[in-house]
Each structure stands twice: as structure tokens, then as C-alpha cells.
Structure 1
Amino acid sequence: MAFVKMDATAVQKIRNGTEEDIISLLDEWTQKNAQTFTFSDITDDVKEKVTESLFARLSQKASSKFHCLCLQTLRLFSREKTRLGSMITDNGLVHFMRLAGLEHYAKQGEADNGITIQLGDAEVTIEAQKCLCNLIFNSVQAQAACSKNGCVEGIVQRLKTYKDPDLKFDIKFYDMRLLFLLTALCADTRPKIRFELHGFTYLIEVIDLILRDAEARDDGLTDQEVDLCSEILKILFNLTVTVDRNNLDEEEEAHMMRLVCVLRDLLLCKTASKDKREEIISHTVNLLINMPRDCYEELLAPMAEVDLSGIENKEVEYDGKNMEAVVILLNFLYERLDRPSKSLKESLTPILHCLCETCRANRSIRKFCRMKVLPPLKDEVKHLPEEGSTLRNRLCKLLTSPILEVKELAADFLFVLCKESVNRMVKYTGYGNCAGLLANRGLMLGGQSQGQGDYSSDSEDSETEEYSNMADSVNPVTGRYEVEKPKPWEGMTDEQKEYEAMKLVEAMDKLNRQGIIQPSVLGEDGRPQTVSHILELLENQPNPPPAGGSSDD
């Protein structure tokens, strides 16, 4: 039996056929095309006529199955980025909104209390939501229309009803997917949601409600709850990504502090599966980057009698504060470093950026992270800083990564932990590893970073006896203890030394002319400056800064 086709015959059947005939036709066609994303076998004229005929049928009373199949057909059509026709007209979009329960009725001059939401059959609602998601994703016209036609207001209004146990998860999920797409693709929806509709507060309350339900069950977040929280966190990221974190009024700052408290609870909450836990932490990390500096204190809390994360209290208590959330962030970084990834940039840059922000902003977090990442050096100084499996070793290895963003963020994180002290950075990473950061900041001649004044001045000498005994033999370039070796030029005559030196100069000059290396000298600003000839390297070159300098808090 031949598969049904969307042609003139199908158009006539949809227009004039019985409900049973149309169900049979659409059921077969949607199953056949469930994984189809372009419909080159359907002409523009036929596709538009089918669309209009389906809209006409959706306006009539019929069974839930019939309406669902009509919407499933339109959903498949909406996958195409072109030829969307009447689906993206104002009338077409309002039709989908009505079926999705998002049609916005407001009396002129009235606020949100004039809005009524009509919610019909759940399966029909979900199919209509999916159609809107596709159309907003694929069409700029649909994006612009849905940001102004009451769709946003309808979603926020229904957001207030999420406590209702009868409201299906999929309806909540696709509401949030719609809101994510609109906030991502239509910048003008962000202030409307935050200030006019108070959506920021409602979104935080939904996450808090989910967390309280999970706590009451004492079994962690279900996979569905993680999915819903993840969508909300993505929306909150969009709402905060352009916020001026240094210029918030008291009310906005209070909302941000409340949000960081909720994010802390998300970090500590259990999940049904390991993959979902990684997903929720990842979205939480992304959002933490947008938070104002003063709000990071909310990640810390008084020590609780019961450790929710399964980590012993003695490992998370520092300076009288509960560092569970910070431990989870550090463990998340370690797991990302420990697991090979095809995209180091996407895997590592968010968590490195998050830790840089929190450590730079909060003294307690920085001191705790320094204790965990850069503990006082002992016998490990006998190995290269990048050798080994500790966080310090793995971060030092990133300092020479070919991925610029990863290299710079890893260097910045370590530099912040060192209170932006050049000597301390060299001590823990080796001059060779951190040369890129020092060059970018004009610190290759030593000195102080401009950010040095942002840190506390108190310091405790935590240098170990083991390190002190080996300090004189630590190579500042490699950062490793090295037994003194005989000098290669001992026993040479002056003529032999000059001959070997000229051979080295010629070899370097050849590499320079071939573009393999680009020799530089340090300028007065502490940054590298390219030389015109290799012999300029012999003039007025300073020694690298010493590896000494006591560690601090």
C-alpha cells in the first residue's frame, strides 16, 4: 500500500472529509514524517492550502485526537525555516496561542488582574506549545509578534498556577521553553518580564517550590524537575546577562541575593541521576557568573548539623562558614578536568569564570579555594607544576593550552588565588607556565598587579620546612627543584665558547626568518616587544623574578 502524500487530493480530503477519514490520513502522514525536517516533495501552494485547511478544522468542535493530529501536522511543517506562510501571521500565531491556553484577554487600562487564561485539553495544549516553539525559533517575524501579542503575559500569568498538582509537567516545560526562546531572541522582552510582569520573582519561586517538594519527599530532584529547573535557569540567565551588576537598586539587589540562596540550594540538592546533577550544576554555574559581587556571600551559610551533600563537615567548614557549595564547584571543575572533552572551551570556561568571579569578590571563598588548590608546597616541588593529578597540576597544564580562553581563565584563577602576586604565581606555576599572563599584564619584570590593592593586606607565612630546604635549588622557570648540574661550557676555551654562541645565534636567526619563532625583548612597560635582529636579545636582558616569596592567605 502506497504512503499517503500531501497533494491536491489530500487538501480536498482535509477540507471536506469526515473526521475519521482525516484522522486516518494525518495519522499515517505524521508517523511517516516524524523525523522529517524539510518537505521538498510538497509544493508551496499545497503546503499553504493544507495549513489553512487545518486552521479551519481547528476552529471547529472535534475530538482531542483530531485536534492533536492537526497540530502535529502543523508542528512538522513549522520545522522548516522558510515557507511558514499563514502560520506566522498575527491570526495564525493567535490561533496557536488560544489552543496553547496563552491567549491574552485584558481590559483596556487594567493590569494583570484583567488577564484570563483558557486551558483546554492538555495534549492539545502541549502540541500547540510545540508549534509556537518551532515558529519562534525559526522565524524573526514570529519572534517579533509573540513579544508583543500577549504571549509573554500569558506565560507569566500561568506561571503563578504552577503549584496546581493537576497542571501537567509538559505544559510547564514548554511554557519555559517558549519563555527561554523569547528572552534569548527578543531582547525587549527581558525588561518587560523583569519589571512590568515581575516574572523574575515568579521564576525564582517556582524553583524554590520544586526544591521544597523534593526536600519533603527526601529523594532529591526527579529528572523532570531537573529539566524544568534547567529551563528556568536559562531564562534567568537571559534576564540577568545584560544587567549592570554595579548599579542595582536595593530591590534588585535583594532579588539577586534571594536568587543566589536558591542557587546554593540547587548545588546542594540531590538528583535521581548523575547526568542530571551535572546538568543542573552546569546551568547554576552559568547563572552565578551574572550575579553581583556582594551576593556571593549567600553561597556560604552557617554550619548545619546535617551535611546535605554527603561531604564530611570538617572538610567544608572554614572560618566558621559552610563551604559545601564551594566544594561542589571545585569538585565540578575537577570532574571537568578529569574527563576528556571534545570541546575544552565549552566544558571549562564557565566554571573557571565562575570561580574567578567568586574568589575575586569574596575573601572567604578565595582563602578556602587557595587552601584546596594551592596548598603549601612540600615534596611535590621535586616535580614540574603541571605533572600530577591535583587541581594545581591540572590547572598549570592548562596554562599552555592552545585554547586561548581556557588558558587565560586558568591563569586568571590561579593569579587571583595568589592575590595577584607575581612572585607567588611564579612559585606555584613556574615562570615559563605563567609567562603569557605576565606578558599580557605587563608584569614580566615583576612588580605588582593593579588589582593587588583589592585584597586584604594581612598575611600568614605558610611556607613549609620541606620547601624552605629546597628553595635555593628551585628553577624559577620550570618551578621544579633541580640538582645542580655541571655547566656545559666548563672546560671550553674562549674561542670554543664564541663558536658555540654564534652557532646558536645563527640557528635562532634562521627560525626567526622562517617565521617559526618571533624573538622579543621586554619593553619598559613589562610587555614583550619584537626585535628586528636576533642579536638584540643579548642586550640589557633582566633575569626572571625569583621563585621565592612567602605564601599568604
Structure 2
Amino acid sequence: MDASTINLLRNGSESEVEEILRKFNEQNAKTFTFSDLSDDLKEKIAESLLKHMTQKLSPRAQCLCLQTIRLFSREKTRLGSLVSDDTLAVLMRLAGLEHYSRQGEEESGITIQLGDSEVTIEAQKCLCNLIFNSAQAQAACSKNGCVEGIVQRLKTYKDPDLQFDIKFFDMRLLFLLTALCADTRPKIRFELHGFTYMIEVIDLIVREAESRSEGLTDQEVDLCSEILKILFNLTVTVDRNNLDEEEDAHMMRLVCVLRDLLLCTTASKDKREGILSHTVNLLINMPRDCYEELLAPMSEGEMGGFENKEVEYDGKNMEAIVILLNFLHDRMDRVWDEPTKSLKESLTPILHCLCETCRANRSIRKFCRAKVLPPLKDEVKHLPEEGNTLRNRLCKLLTSPILEVKELAADFLFVLCKESVQRMVKYTGYGNCAGLLANRGLLLGGQGQGDYSSDSEDSDTEDYSNLAENTPCFRVNPVTGRFEEDKAKPWEGMTDEQKEYEAMKLVNAMDKLNRAGIIQPSTLGEDGRPVPVSHILELMENQPNIPANQSDEEDE
């Protein structure tokens, strides 16, 4: 735009303004940086737009003004008057969120007025961009009544005449504010009771989908996903161990709704993936005693059905847990099929979620153990990481270069093994789990710190025991975790002098690698953790007596 066009934009008729803005918006639909406009020109355009929006314009003209502001708001700098209190107030009014103060009273309130829906949605989009790109806009909108207005309109979401896009961008605004302005979180959660309202909106959406006997529509999934992201922001800093009775009840209610959401189908497979991901993220923030709400008791009639055998355990419906395990399996398929996909981003949330639920709930842990670590039969003839079962894939992750993934996969398997070193070695092999044992000071064996039930029995199934008895030339190699043929010892037939000579050759080779910094020999300290040695010969001194493996124990 040149100076003459800007002058016409400022003083021209409504039709002339519309024509100018229509051309400008079409030309810059994909523009994110207006380097061809000087700061002064851009500011004059913004002021002209604000002037027009404060006047009585047709909805079409208002939309064109707002579209231009939305284009300008994409820039992270040079926002100028776009983030002023006056501009934000106008945008809030057009978005149907207007703050007012009662004269003579300290209280303030919100006026919700919905005009033309297209104008409302365009104004919401402008606010989203400005809040995302400007700390000034974030601070202003956290205090000028924007949050209160959104929560107030949240109460009207049952109204079928309220358009989906208005609900969606309301929640997008609230997500940005809760993500970028920490002080809005307690206000929404406690003062405005937005936490409860959002739970009920999700529940309403799920109930409507069930009444239609259909899955969630794409729009419903998008709205639920935005709400789940807000709820995550509201709960991410909550001390889960110090909740009062009311807060605990809200968390219980939320997990119950999340269970229903897990069981809902969706019209699109991609949308299903997205909403499961957000649900998993939110479950991580829940108090441990709330995970019981993921399970539902099964009636006697339901327990007898063939179709329920896969999801019934200990008289409880484990459908939600099956979905979480399937989600983990699908994520593993995806990251190996698509090497560019971030392994950390894909697997850490679901692994963390399963660790938390299994550690907190005995029934969930035992069910997951039956699915992930079934009794070893012929599988013991192969390496633990070979194959496509969940156990095989988790064992493969134990040597992943991604530290977070490796630790969470090890933690999940360790919890399923009731933090028993002997059992962990049996299912994964000592070589795969050595890192976990070293970090926890369990290289000498023993038990972890978890609080688990003591009722258990020998885990060596009949097939597993028969395999050991009927193959005398084979034994389980604890390092690799599989049956291997006994091999002749390399020092058999050597004289003592030859053995000593070979031993010194080995010591010298290890010392050379040590001095080159290629390896760091260590011995085991009293705490069961590796302690680096200064010379290779120290490995021969003060070796601890490693207790013989005790008989493996297993859940009932």
C-alpha cells in the first residue's frame, strides 16, 4: 500500500475500504512478514482499521478489517498499536467478550453478546495470534476480562445454536492463556470453576456421541483435544499428593470421563490418534489413587461372554488399559516405520502413563504383566529383543540411544516384574537391563523400593521348566536371556602357566583401552553401583560375593 491508498483507506467510503482490503488480503493470504511496509505505514493502516471497527460497519466490512489485522498479527515484532488496550478491547467486543465495571461497586462482570458469527470468529483468530506473539497481549488478556468471558460462554456450550468454530477458538484462546500466563491457571481452576465446566463439556460431547450410536465427529474431537490441552495446563503443576477432598473428587471425576473418552470411537483414524495422545498426556498428571476409575466392575453376565475374555481381569473391565497398550504398540509400529518420527516425542508419554498406572494400581499392573510378559515358553530360545511382541519391542528399547525412552521402557518392565532383579533378568537378559540396575544400585541383585503385594508363586511355568530339563546340553544365558548350547571353556586343556599368560594379555589389553579413554573399568561399590577404578588390576581386589540367584517368584 502507498500513501494515497492508505489515505483512501482512512477517509474513503465503506465500499472503497472493502475493495482495498479485499485486494490486500488476497495478495497477502500467505504472508507472515510485511517487510515491504515500513513501521509508519503499517501503524497508519492499523489505526485506520481500528477507527473503522469502532464505527457501525456491515458484517462483511468488519470481517475484512479483522482479516487484515489477523494478517498483521502473524508478525512477532512490529505489532505496535495492535496490542494496545484499546485494540484488544475492540477485538474482545467483536468476539462477544466485553468487560464492564459496575459503577460504585468493586465487582466487575462480562457481557456476552454474539453478533455475526463470522465477525466473532475472525476477532477470536486475531486475539489468538496476538496472544501467541506478544507478551504484552498475554499480560493484558489475563487481566482485562478475556478469561472470565470465555469461561462465562463455556457455560452455554449446550446451546445447539452456538457454532462449533466459536467454541473451538474460545478453547484455543484459553489454551494459549493457560500455557503462556501461569497466573491464569489458579483463577480458572478455583475462582471461575472452569475446571469443572470443561470436564462437563467433554462428558456432554461423549454422551451425545453415544446417543447417536456413532463415533465422535472430527469437530467434536478437535474441541475435546483443545479442552484436554487446557486441563493439562491446569494440572501440570498440581501437587498430586496434597489435594483436599473436593479437588480429589474433581480428579476422580476427570479420570472417569477420560475413561469414557478412551472407549469412544472416532470418524477419522488420525483424529483418534490425536485425542488418545492428549488423553495420555493428561492421565500422567492425575493422582495415583484416581487410576482405579479407569476400571469398571463387570457384572456376572458380562464376565461370561466370550468377547469379554480379553478385557476382563479380576472381575473388572480393562478396556481402557487394552486401549493404552494398543496405543503403545501402534506408536512403536509408527516410529520404526517412519524413522524421521521423533522416538522421544512418540513413546515417552505413553510409557510414562503406563508406568504411573501400573505402579499405582495392582490390578492394572497384573493385567499389563499378563499382556506384556506372558509365561516364557519357546520364546526363551530367542533373544528377548527379537520378535514383534510388546516384550520384544520394549527389550529393544532398553538399548535405545534416546535416554528418556530407554529409562522409561526399563522402568515399565521393572514395575511389571515387581522390581525383582531376578525376574527382570529372566525376561530381558542381564545385558539389556544392566543400565537400569546400575542406576538403582541393584547390580548385586535384590529388590527395588516399590511397595508390592507379597502373594506370589514360582514363575517357571511347566513348559519353561520342561525345556530346561529336556535339553541338558542347553542352559539359559543370563546375559543374553535365552537358551544357548553349552560351549567348551576356552581354558580347558591349558596349563597354569598358559592360563596366567592369557590372563595378563587380557589385563594389558584392557589397560590399554582404559588409558585411551575407550572404556572405563569399574567395580561394584557397597551401594551396588559401579565405582570407576584407577588401574585395571583393582578389578581383582575386594570382589564382593554375589549371592546365588534365588528362585524366581511371580504374581498369582
**Which band: TM-score by shorter chain?**
over 0.9
Q: Secondary structure at the match of 1:488?
A: coil
1:177 aligns with 2:172: yes
Q: Is the 8 A contact 1:38 1:79 kept in 2?
A: yes
1:65 aligns with 2:57: no
Distance 1:462 1:110, change over 3 A: farther
After superposition, the C-alpha distances for 1:408-440 in whole angstroms (9 at most, x for unaligned) are 101111111111111111111111111111111
Q: Is the 8 A contact 1:424 1:548 kept in 2?
A: no
Q: Is the 8 A contact 1:246 1:292 kept in 2?
A: yes
Q: Secondary structure at the match of 2:523?
A: strand
Q: Secondary structure at the match of 1:105?
A: strand
| Residue in 1 that maps onto 2:258 | 263
1:465 aligns with 2:462: yes
Q: How does 1:385-424 map to 2 (within 5 A)?
A: 385-424=384-423
Residue type at the aligned position of 1:467: Y
Distance 1:485 1:177, change over 3 A: same
Instruction: Give the C-alpha shift of residue 312 in structure 1.
Output: 2.7
Q: How many residues align?
A: 543
Q: Which ranges of structure 2 fall in alignment gaps of 5 or more residues?
A: 469-473
Distance 1:295 1:106, change over 3 A: farther
Q: How does 1:420-459 map to 2 (within 5 A)?
A: 420-451=419-450, 454-459=451-456
1:155 corresponds to which of 150, 157, 169: 150
After superposition, the C-alpha distances for 1:20-67 in whole angstroms (9 at most, x for unaligned) are 222121111111111111111100000011000000011111221111
Q: Secondary structure at the match of 1:473?
A: strand
TM-score by length of 1: 0.95
Q: Is the 8 A contact 1:133 1:181 kept in 2?
A: yes
Q: Secondary structure at the match of 1:400?
A: coil
| Residue in 2 that maps onto 1:549 | 552
Q: How does 1:367-386 map to 2 (within 5 A)?
A: 367-386=366-385
**Structure 1 residue runs of 4+, over 6 Å off?**
304-307
TM-score by length of 2: 0.94
Residue type at the aligned position of 1:436: G
Instruction: Give the C-alpha shift of residue 552 in structure 1.
Output: 2.2
1:51 aligns with 2:46: yes
1:125 aligns with 2:120: yes
State, as a whole percentage, how many aligned pairs show the same letter: 81
Q: Secondary structure at the match of 2:44?
A: helix
Residue type at the aligned position of 1:426: V
1:339 corresponds to which of 329, 334, 345: 334
2:482 corresponds to which of 472, 480, 497: 480
Q: Is the 8 A contact 1:143 1:186 kept in 2?
A: yes
2:530 corresponds to which of 511, 528, 553: 528
Q: Is the 8 A contact 1:531 1:537 kept in 2?
A: yes
1:32 corresponds to which of 27, 31, 46: 27
Instruction: Give the C-alpha shift of residue 513 in structure 1.
Output: 2.0
Q: Secondary structure at the match of 2:458?
A: coil
| Residue in 2 that maps onto 1:3 | none
After superposition, the C-alpha distances for 1:97-147 in whole angstroms (9 at most, x for unaligned) are 1111111235365878x5321111110111110110011111111111100
Distance 1:455 1:267, change over 3 A: same
2:81 & 2:220 partners in 1: Cα distance? 35
Q: Is the 8 A contact 1:333 1:351 kept in 2?
A: yes
Which sits farther off after the overlay, 185-194 or 341-350? Answer: 341-350
1:7 & 1:497 partners in 2: Cα distance? 92
1:501 corresponds to which of 497, 500, 503: 503
Instruction: Give the C-alpha shift of residue 305 in structure 1.
Output: 9.6
1:311 & 1:110 partners in 2: Cα distance? 64
| Residue in 1 that maps onto 2:471 | none
Distance 1:311 1:93, change over 3 A: farther
1:286 corresponds to which of 265, 281, 285: 281
RMSD, aligned CA: 1.9
Instruction: Give the C-alpha shift of residue 332 in structure 1.
Output: 0.4
Distance 1:311 1:355, change over 3 A: farther
Q: Is the 8 A contact 1:427 1:547 kept in 2?
A: no
Q: Secondary structure at the match of 1:271?
A: coil
Instruction: Give the C-alpha shift of residue 462 in structure 1.
Output: 3.8
Instruction: Give the C-alpha shift of residue 466 in structure 1.
Output: 2.4
After superposition, the C-alpha distances for 1:233-283 in whole angstroms (9 at most, x for unaligned) are 000000001111111111111111110011001100010011111111110
Q: Secondary structure at the match of 1:125?
A: helix
| Residue in 2 that maps onto 1:224 | 219
Residue type at the aligned position of 2:552: G
1:163 & 1:541 partners in 2: Cα distance? 71
1:387 & 1:68 partners in 2: Cα distance? 60
Q: Secondary structure at the match of 1:126?
A: helix
Q: Secondary structure at the match of 2:531?
A: strand
Which sits farther off after the overlay, 186-195 or 335-344? Answer: 335-344
Distance 1:449 1:224, change over 3 A: same
2:228 & 2:550 partners in 1: Cα distance? 44
Instruction: Give the C-alpha shift of residue 9 in structure 1.
Output: 2.1
Q: Secondary structure at the match of 2:407?
A: helix
Q: Which ranges of structure 1 fall in alignment gaps of 5 or more residues?
A: 1-5
